[in-house]
Chain A
């Protein structure tokens, strides 16, 4: 199960959990599983999130792979100049 770290102000939408374990093979599956398990995270996910999977920042690619032992951090959707 991949370990998905939620930033502090998201935790109230996931029963206070800092880390949520998710069974997913891709970033998209991970997002969908998160929302199914914790519907309160839906608005944040719909607003657009970037993620870091094992240190690699994935700005916007639902097809990017997630491994069973992956460490995932949710990030605000990043913009650049």
Chain B
């Protein structure tokens, strides 16, 4: 779709050059968190609670400290007191205080001269617990008689009379609900549940920390946001953030789970106690699953009114979400606005409570809250489409949000591409393929806000005419390549002449993490503006040499040119010529840009999935899968497709297999990948993608974030396809074979 206000006709944007980190990653040269080592480094291990809820009566580390080679033990008593709010939350999760709040909660940490010795020493630390009643299920945590985990946890938003485990409450909406439902031909309501799932990044958390007696330290860490790591670690330990320098490693996935701290401050606390020796801590997979942020589990009531022609007249949701034993961790604030974000419905009511339970402190996970909300709302839309024999894409086209629609959460949408994704899905060959026996098709749409955020970027022109860009957003999904392309396009030089480096906290102003699908949007926008600043300076240098006004010089194709015949006749002066002479023409040439980036473009997508269900075993096979999503402008289409496919794969895992399984003792039953089953390559077909491009007017090249929306539609789309294949509707994820088989049998009965 061509737009007058957005540039087109690019030379490099939209091409697919090799990724700059590709060779390093396939040859093992890339340095991840656990690869970092320092001379004299100690290794750490963590003692974790085996109980879901227990008072810590006593910690005796004397036997551990007696071992030769054990250098330090830290407990909560070693951390400062007096923290409040989220800082206290972070500290409470780093090391338990009076109580252990979930299975796997860190209670103590030990540093020793080898990893094996540290693990042995951890086993020798004796913790005396008084086991307390626990609750892990979101609905059970609100039931009368459920143990109140942390009395007084409710914040300002919770009305009187709610259960003591309710921590937050939210309600909003618009329109006349009574009239809306009265106008419908069919009104249906159901309850939907999703289990907690983990981000499932391949690389476990890892850090090396060093902190001296003077309070100055360094950390090398696998993270999505090293400025956040710095601020949070400093708060937990009571040190000055400015005295801590944090360098990010390459990152083996994050998906939101590495935007916060879990064990990182322990490396610094242990280091300080061990006389400033560096300390390395690498989590095991079991520790990652037990004690780092999964997403919330949810229980959701949805009510919809629909006319026979498919017009949706009213919608209502009540979500209950738990994000662990800590306030503010469930994504109710995101889930509610996402619930009906794809629709333009005259009457809507949204209501949600956050409930605390004896589970680990949840972290953001790819479009936090949106997948659960979509599972509830899009499943019911599909149920009503099937009941009224309506095409699910036509119903979404009829009710879907458009440019100028008032969003379900209030503001008016500017330029969005939902309708375009629906049209592209409808026109795709997959949507016309006939289905066989035991096969079904599911359709769902999804939404994510996208985010701008604090951003600082610097760019330096090299003496050889190259450009080096320094960014502060770790590259998780290809942002170095995308930012390199945008800078090369702006400067008019080859992509290969641009180097993009993710630099440490001492090298730039504050950067928020790579979260909210913001890196290519925000760091990219800042890099383009930084390049523009460098161009201005290069034009000035050329003008000085030509002895004409700087305004009489223009930049194109990587060189300064006289702007017109009146400017004089001079051969173009390339970036290489200017760079080679810059020492004598005024000094190094650079550009920089610092901003809290705005102008984000909302992201919409539509997915179509075909499944086949084995009626004897209940096993679901994904036959084909289509992702259609608006990218604004696809800077590097291969990475955009990768984000679409990755989001779909994670969503399919959430829909079919992944779940946190807790025993009656409140302990996590499946803390290894053998039992917590994420999709592997052999589980999935090649995921088809269609990139819709409705450029975002808030970005110089039209970029929208593409990282998160893709995980949202698979949950309802897969469940709806299974309903189509079997006639049995699963309203509680995952659609695991035993559950599908039981639903088929119940449906037959």
A contact residues vs B (CB 8 Å cutoff)? 5, 7-10, 13, 40, 43-44, 47, 52, 54-61, 63-64, 71, 73, 75-81
- Chain B residue numbers with a CB within 8 Å of A55 are 411-414
A79 with B364, Cβ < 8 A, contacts A7-B171, A43-B155, A57-B411 known: yes
- In the bound complex, CA of A78 to CA of B454 (Å): 14
Binds A, one of B8-16, B54-62, B133-141, B594-602: B594-602
Most chain A beta-carbon neighbours within 10 Å: one of B333, B366, B367, B518: B333
Q: Are B411 and A52 in contact (CB under 8 A)?
A: yes
B contact residues vs A (CB 8 Å cutoff)? 155-157, 159, 169-173, 199, 254-257, 259, 328, 331-334, 337, 364-368, 409-414, 448-454, 515-518, 596, 598-600, 698, 707-708
B112 → chain A closest CB, angstroms: 35
Q: What are 6 inter-chain pairs, A to B, with CB distance below 8 A?
A: A7-B170, A73-B411, A75-B333, A78-B333, A80-B515, A81-B256
- Chain B residue numbers with a CB within 8 Å of A44 are 156-157
A57 with B600, Cβ < 8 A, contacts A80-B364, A81-B364 known: yes
- In the bound complex, CA of A19 to CA of B452 (Å): 27
- Chain A residue numbers with a CB within 8 Å of B333 are 75-79
Query: When the two chains form the complex, which single residue of A8, A61, A77, A80 contacts B596, counting CB atoms closer than 8 Å?
Result: A61
Most chain B beta-carbon neighbours within 10 Å: one of A43, A52, A81: A81
- Chain B residue numbers with a CB within 8 Å of A77 are 333
B98 → chain A closest CB, angstroms: 25
- Chain A residue numbers with a CB within 8 Å of B255 are 81
- The chain A residue sitting closest to B366, CB to CB, is A81
- Chain B residue numbers with a CB within 8 Å of A71 are 411-412
- Chain A residue numbers with a CB within 8 Å of B156 are 13, 40, 43-44, 47
- The chain B residue sitting closest to A53, CB to CB, is B411
Query: When the two chains form the complex, which single residue of A10, A13, A81 contacts B368, counting CB atoms closer than 8 Å?
Result: A81
A47 with B155, Cβ < 8 A, contacts A57-B411, A59-B452, A81-B256 known: yes
B716 → chain A closest CB, angstroms: 19
A27 → chain B closest CB, angstroms: 11
Q: Are B453 and A60 in contact (CB under 8 A)?
A: yes
| 4 new A-B contacts at CB < 8 Å, known A64-B598, A81-B365 | A44-B156, A47-B328, A76-B334, A79-B333
- Chain B residue numbers with a CB within 8 Å of A5 are 410
- In the bound complex, CA of A58 to CA of B449 (Å): 11
- In the bound complex, CA of A34 to CA of B452 (Å): 25
- In the bound complex, CA of A71 to CA of B411 (Å): 8
A81 with B515, Cβ < 8 A, contacts A44-B156, A59-B451, A64-B598 known: yes
